[in-house]
């Protein structure tokens, strides 16, 4: 496909890197040095110019573009560039929009203005953090099939009831319908079979229904009830904090925000009546002590500086806080987090890239059994993909044990109507099923791609 990316910043460059392997990509940015760097590093065409000028869009062949993705730092520029591109015959347009002021207009912009997809990285990051705080034992939680299937990442500690257990014995031991679909051991990501034995230090990826996942956490942790988050402190009062605080209040979590900017504090106080907003420097030890921050069940570090967030998170861990969530955007810093033994890392940039990649892959094969959900996990070493079986194919109605999967692939769950099926050899795929696949491969755009 022909894809135009408007904006060559962090998200734009990450998209260019991922998409150029499969598509013809053009990047537009005003910054000449940025364009030069992108064209040197990746197989993309670069145009230096203003994306709101029709001459620049013409140079990018916008009339032939399958998708235009606008990810500049300005919401208004992203929206307007999409509108201009649609008038110039671009087929689909995606805009990154961060301001909460646009939240209530998303349907109007899609239906009336023709913008195919609106991505709010801050809102989506808040959703991810809220899911993690619902399951304090989890490192990360993802959802499929409209919330009916959960995929949780959990670290196995020494003495866990799962330590030294073979996967074939797991469901019998726990009496739960769950599936461990991937394991991270050191730098290696493994798609395990039934003989695989869990070891302390492993990070396991578990799929289950929402109710089975709750029971799973209760089974593996005697302290599950005590670990439920009742009080949370958010350090940094930006857009992610605003969206997250709204969700935490709905979850019944007592929430406090520490923000250094006085005007922002007043704005948050006006918008969030049930949240305690403290005006102060969240990196100041005296303020943290005065506000009894370390008495909270969870701390989420949301300042605009990655290094600050990491250091604050380490400080919280050292002071005995049970659950710590860290916002980090720079990929090189995210790779250090395992070494530093941080709990849960959330990257709004990565979440945005994943959402847009999901959309692009779905459009690439919109006539087939295409993607509805896509998550890239473990530093992009693992993909969890949800497909919908839209039509009769050669692999439909055939027992799974008779189908040959490519290496590094596991069918993790099948959702049929309201029924969640943990796949076994005699199960079959049927038309209209929702199928979750976990793989160490990359680039799958259709369900048929997983079969050898």
Buried-state track 65-82, b at ≥16 Cβ within 10 A, e below 16: bbbbbbbbeebebbbebb
The string of DSSP letters for 187-219 reads: TEEE---TT-B--TT-EEEEEEEHHHHHHHHHH
Nearest residue to 357 (alpha-carbon basis) of 6, 22, 130, 8: 22
Taking only the tens place, the pLDDT of each residue in 243-263 is 999 999 999 999 999 999 999
Q: Where are the alpha helices (DSSP H) in 201-305?
A: 210-220, 239-250, 262-271, 285-290
Which residues neighbour 33 within 8 Å (Cβ) at sequence distance 6 or greater? none
CB-CB contact of 191 with 410 (8 Å): yes
Taking only the tens place, the pLDDT of each residue in 387-429 is 989 888 899 999 999 999 999 999 999 999 888 998 989 999 9
Task: Give the pLDDT of residue 24.
Answer: 95
Domains of the chain: 2-119 (3.40.50.720), 134-220 (3.30.70.1450), 231-321 (3.40.50.720), 352-450 (3.30.70.1450)
Q: How far apart are the first and last CA of the chain?
A: 25
Task: Give the pLDDT of residue 44.
Answer: 95
Interstrand relation of 419-421 and 323-327 (parallel, antiparallel or unpaired): unpaired
Q: What is d(CA 143, CA 386) in angstroms, rounded to the nearest whole number?
A: 10
CB-CB contact of 5 with 16 (8 Å): yes
Task: Give the pLDDT of residue 223.
Answer: 47
Task: Give the pLDDT of residue 8.
Answer: 94
Buried-state track 243-256, b at ≥16 Cβ within 10 A, e below 16: bbbbbbeeeebbbb
Q: What is the pTM of this model?
A: 0.83
Residues of the chain with pLDDT under 70: 222-227, 331, 334-339, 365-370
Q: What is d(CA 284, CA 430) in angstroms, rounded to the nearest whole number?
A: 58
């Amino acid at each position: 496909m022909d894809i135009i990316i408007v904006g060559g910043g962090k998200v734009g460059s990450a998209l260019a890197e991922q998409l150029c392997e499969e598509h013809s990509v053009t990047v537009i940015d005003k910054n000449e040095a940025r364009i030069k760097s992108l064209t040197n590093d990746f197989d993309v065409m670069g145009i230096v110019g203003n994306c709101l000028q029709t001459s620049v869009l013409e140079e990018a062949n916008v009339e032939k573009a399958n998708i235009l993705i606008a990810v500049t730092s300005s919401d208004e520029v992203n929206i307007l560039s999409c509108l201009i591109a649609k008038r110039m015959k671009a087929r689909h347009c995606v805009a990154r929009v961060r301001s909460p002021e646009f939240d209530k207009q998303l349907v109007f912009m899609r239906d009336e203005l023709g913008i195919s997809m609106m991505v709010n990285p801050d809102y989506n990051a808040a959703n991810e953090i809220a899911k993690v705080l619902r399951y304090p034992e989890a490192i990360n939680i993802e959802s499929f099939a409209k919330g009916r299937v959960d995929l949780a990442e959990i670290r196995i500690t020494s003495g866990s009831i799962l330590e030294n257990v073979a996967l074939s014995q797991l469901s019998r031991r726990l009496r739960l319908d769950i599936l461990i679909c991937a394991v991270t051991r050191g730098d290696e990501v493994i798609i395990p079979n039934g003989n695989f034995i869990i070891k302390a230090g492993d990070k396991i990826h578990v799929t289950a229904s929402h109710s089975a996942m709750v029971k799973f956490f209760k089974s593996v942790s005697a302290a599950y009830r005590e670990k439920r988050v009742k009080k949370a402190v958010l350090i940094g009062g930006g857009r992610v904090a605003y969206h997250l605080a709204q969700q935490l209040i709905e979850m019944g979590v007592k929430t406090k925000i520490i923000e250094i900017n006085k005007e922002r504090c007043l704005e948050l106080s006006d918008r969030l009546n049930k949240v305690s907003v403290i005006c102060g420097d969240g990196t100041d030890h005296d303020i943290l002590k005065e506000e009894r921050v370390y008495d909270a069940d969870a701390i989420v570090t949301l300042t605009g500086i990655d290094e600050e967030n990491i250091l604050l998170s380490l400080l919280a861990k050292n002071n005995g806080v049970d659950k710590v969530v860290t916002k980090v955007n720079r990929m090189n810093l995210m790779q250090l987090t395992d070494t530093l033994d941080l709990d849960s890392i959330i990257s709004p940039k990565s979440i945005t890239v994943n959402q847009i990649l999901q959309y692009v892959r779905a459009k690439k094969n919109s006539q087939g059994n295409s993607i509805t959900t896509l998550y890239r996990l473990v530093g992009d070493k693992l993909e969890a993909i949800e497909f919908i079986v839209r039509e009769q194919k050669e692999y439909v109605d055939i027992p799974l044990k008779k189908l040959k999967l490519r290496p590094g692939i596991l069918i993790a769950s099948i959702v049929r109507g309201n029924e969640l099926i943990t796949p076994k050899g005699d199960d079959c795929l049927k038309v209209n099923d929702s199928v979750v696949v976990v793989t160490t491969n990359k680039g799958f755009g259709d369900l048929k791609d997983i079969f050898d």
